[in-house]
Every structure is written in C-alpha cells, then in structure tokens.
Amino acid sequence: MNTPSEEAIEASIKIINEGSARMEELGFIFEVIQAAIDKATEELREVHTETMTTETKTLPSESEHWYFQDGQPCYTIIGKNGKERATRLNDARKLDLVPSVTKILNEAAKPGLESWKAKQILEAALTLPKLDGETLDDYAVRVMADAKEQGRKAAERGTLLHAAIEKRIQGVNVDPAWTQHVALISGTLLQYGIDLFRGKPEHSFASPVGYGGKVDVWSTEFGVWDFKSKDKIAGTKNLVFDEHVMQIAAYGRGLRLPTPFRGGNIFVGVEDAEVKIVEHSWKDLERGWEMFRLLHEFWQRKNHFGRYARK
C-alpha cells in the first residue's frame, strides 16, 4: 500500500477543516432561521391578540378584503375611536359581508409562496453579518426584518404593475417605469387573441354562494385573467400552482360567466420584462372550483360564518 505524501496529507486536512468550518457556518445559519421562525410565530400571536382588543392603524392586505352583497368593497371601516381601520370578522358578521377569494385560499398551503419566503430568510441570514455581542434572538429579529422588507418591496412592485395595467386599459398615461412592461403585456395578449381594451379592469363582485373578489381583467368574450408579477420569468421552473387555478375558477363562477369559460394567469417579470401566458384547461378549472368550494365550506365552518353561523 502506497504511503500518501505530506502534500496530500496537508491538502486532505485543509479540506476537512474547511468542510468542518462550512458545516459549523451552515449550522449557525439554520439556528438563525429557526430562531427567526420562532420569533415570527411569536409576533403573529402578539398581533392576533392585539387586533382582538385594540384598533389597528394598518390598512388591510388583499387577504383581509371583504365585500358587500352587491360586490362593493368594504376593506376598511371607521372604528369606535373615529379612526379608519381594517375590516374584521366581527364587522363582517354585523354588516353581512362576504370574504375575499384570497382569504379563502389562505386556508390551503401555498408551497410556492412558502418556498419564496424561506428563500428570503435564508438570503438575509447569509448576507447580514452578526454584530459583536448580538444575541441570537436579536440577530433573528434583524434577519426577519430584512426578509419582510424584501417581501414588502415585491408586493409594492406588484401593486404598481397592476395599477399601470389598469391605466393602460382605461386609456390613461402609464408611469414611464412600467411602459415597456405594459406594452409587452398588451402585445403578447393580442397575439394570443385577447384585447385588453375590450375587457373590464379591476372589477369587484360578490357571489350569492358567499364570497367576493376583484378581478384584474375579464369579459364574456375572453374570460377571466389575473396578473402575477415575478422577479424574473426566465429560469423560473414552476409558475403555476393550484391556488392560481382555484382563484380563476372562483372568479369565473362568481361573475356567473357561462360555462365553460376561458381563464388563466399572465406572469410578468419585473426585472426582465418578460411575459408568459398560462391558460388553464376547463378540466383544470372544474377541478379548481371543486377544491375552492370545499375550502370555502371549511372556512365558513371554522369561523361559524354564513350558513354555518351560530344560531
């Protein structure tokens, strides 16, 4: 058996030491991520408790949207202190409101979104250096704050893009920052046989079944379409998930479109300005509707709402 040279031994020791250091680093990162998750869970509990006892100044996210029976939005109300606040479940009961499609869909796991959130936390943990003397809990708070900020910016970009598309459909001048995106969207859809100018943008509705929503664009001619903004389209493996199909199915049924109706998602890359159209088959939309219908019943039963309200 040949005896390894000193150089080979030293090289092996170096590899082992570097591997050990890397494992230690990864172990620390995973500790930070776990601490961040624990901290986030604690914060969510605190927020939930606070919103049950005090007025909140935070305006509602899409998942907190409610609608009157005629389809008009009721996202906020004036609280007892005279200040505007987000509409809550108890308000919905008193005002006979219906929940948004997004609120119902939140009852199901969203693997795509959860994967993206985990990635933001991991990237924050890898790029933010731990300060001297900083506890793991304090470091976790900074990591979570950085990850949340990235999420906030992504949501803000999506909102601005939606607003630009709506302006385009209404014939209003679009913010120059989004001119290229909107032009590509309009041109791509025309090639696909969909004319945005023949559709109704940002149209809200309420279904007699007991839910409501606001559709990005729809018409009886080309069906229901929802825009989804992404950082980039190129290189993204999975764009479509079950919640996308359920959303389109619920919108089409809520608008009472004749069946079968067309529908799908228009994915727009914010950074690369690419557009990808995904139309869902009627078979998939039927499956999506059945899944949404069951989620809706689950939500009503869990919250004693609608036909399952306590007598």
Three-state DSSP at 19 gives: helix
Distances in whole angstroms, Cα of residue 15 to Cα of each of 10, 12, 18, 21, 253: 9, 5, 5, 10, 61
pLDDT in tens, 122-174: 788 878 888 888 888 888 888 888 888 877 877 788 888 888 888 888 888 88
Give the angle subtended at the CA of 257 by the CAs of 193 and 87, to the nearest 5°: 110
Q: Are 212 and 205 in contact (CB under 8 A)?
A: yes
What was the pLDDT predicted at 308? Answer: 92
Residue 17 has pLDDT above 60, yes or no: no
Calpha distance 242→258 (Å, rounded): 22
- How far is the C-alpha of 83 from the C-alpha of 103, rounded, in Å? 24
The strand pairing partners of 228, in sequence order, are 267
Q: For the chain, give the longest Cα–Cα distance.
A: 87
Residue 263 pLDDT greater than 90, yes or no:
yes
104 compared with 19, residue with greater pLDDT: 104
DSSP 127: H
- Output the pLDDT for position 55: 35
Indicate if the pLDDT at residue 20 is higher than 60: no
pLDDT tens, 30-62?
555 555 555 544 444 443 333 333 333 444 555
Averaged over 214-240, what is the pLDDT?
A: 90
- Euclidean distance between CA atoms 233 and 145, whole angstroms: 26
Q: Which residues on neighbouring strands pair with residue 204, listed in sequence order?
A: 214
What does the pLDDT read at residue 63? 57
Q: Tell me, what's the pLDDT at 219? A: 94
Q: Is the pTM of this model over 0.75?
A: no
| Calpha distance 154→162 (Å, rounded) | 12
**pLDDT given for residue 36 in this prediction:** 53
Most confident of 25-29, 57-61, 185-189, 253-257: 253-257
- What local confidence, expressed as pLDDT, does residue 6 receive? 58
Domains of the chain with CATH codes: 62-308 (3.90.320)
What's residue 310's pLDDT? 86
Q: How many angstroms from the chain centroid is the CA of residue 29?
A: 26
Q: Which of 1-5, 204-208, 238-242 has the highest mean pLDDT?
A: 204-208
Closest to 182 (Cα-Cα) out of 305, 270, 111: 270
Q: Can you spell out the DSSP letters for 124-157?
A: HHHHSPPPTT--HHHHHHHHHHHHHHHHHHHHHH
